[in-house]
Structure 1
Amino acid sequence: MKTAKTVDELRNEIKVFGENKTIGFAPTMGYLHEGHLSLIKRAKTENDIVVVSIFVNPTQFGPGEDFESYPRDFEKDAGLAEAAGADILFLPDAKEIYPVGSATIVEVEGPITKKLCGSSRPTHFKGVTTVVNILLNIVSPDKAYFGQKDAQQVAVIKKMIRGLHMQVAIVTCPIIREADGLALSSRNVGLKTEEREQAPVLSRALNIAKDLWISGENDVATLKTVIANEINTMPLADIDYVDILDYETLAGIEKIDAPALAAVAVRFGNTRLIDNIILE
Structure 2
Amino acid sequence: MTINCKGSLIDLSTPKVMGILNLTPDSFYDGGKYKDESQILYQTEKMLQEGATFIDLGAYSSRPGADHISIEEEENRILPIVTLILSKFPNTILSIDTFRSKIAKQCIEAGAAIINDISAGSLDKEMIKIVGALKVPYIMMHMKGTPQTMKSLNQYDNLIEDIQLYFSQKIIEAIKEGINDLIIDPGFGFAKNIDQNFELLNKLDLLNIQEYPILAGISRKSMIYKSLNINPSESLNGTTSLNTIALLKGASILRVHDVKEAMECVTLFHRYKGQA
Give TM-score, length-normalised by structure 1: 0.30
Larger % of strand: which?
1
Q: TM-score with structure 2 length normalisation? A: 0.30
Higher relative contact order (CA 8 A, sep 6+): 2
